[in-house]
Amino acid sequence: MTNFIKNANWRYATKKFDATKKVSTEDLNSLKEAIKLSASSYGLQPYKVLIIENPEVRAKIQPVAWGQSQIVDASQLIVFANITNIGDAEIDASLADTAATRGIPLDSLKGYGDFMKSKISSLPEDVRNTWTSKQTYLALGNLLNAAAELKIDVTPIEGFEPEKVNEILGLAALGLNASVLATIGYRHEDDATQHYAKVRKSNEELFINI
């Protein structure tokens, strides 16, 4: 836990990346594994994660992401895209995967599947889309913590136009929506933000004991 707290104090939302430094394949695979192991409601993982290195694609995204330099200067741009209009098909696929992974009959999961469908598929589409979008933030949290352990910088980015990013990446045709972005890489030595004192609420102001 001591290392976790040290890492949390080390990390910050990097404003300027060193474009000459790249995340190694080994470290990138570790980050992907951390994302994959993230918690999600019902274990459904109702999202896809796009890892974008192509400079031309990133140059197209930058103007619709408030012109932020991190989009093009970081080692990779990651797009967490939630599944839209999730329903029975995705639940059935998850149940089949569970049965195969655990070596159990698919029929034994029918009750659980029916329960999930009653709670998810019956919701209005906009409510389901909001729910799947929220799930991406759990995966983002794992990325932030795993990257800090590897001393890799991450900038979470909500400042972008989802509809434009969807259009650039063709996400609508895939039943996806850009929920949140993150850039990963290494801070530039000229990024003054790294020297700022971390500002957080005091325990007394933040926590309520009941």
CATH number at residue 36: 3.40.109.10
- Residue 1: the pLDDT is 82
Instruction: Specify burial of residue 21 (Cβ count, 10 A radius: 0-12, 13-18, 19+).
Output: middle
Domain membership of residue 181 (yes or no) is yes
Domain membership of residue 33 (yes or no) is yes
Q: For residue 141, give its domain range.
A: 13-86+124-195
Global pTM exceeds 0.85: yes
User: Which residues, given as ranges, of the chain have pLDDT below 50?
Assistant: none
Radius of gyration of the chain (CA): 19
Domain membership of residue 2 (yes or no) is no
pLDDT in tens, 122-159: 999 999 999 999 999 999 999 999 999 999 999 999 99
The total number of structural domains that make up the chain: 1
Domain membership of residue 139 (yes or no) is yes
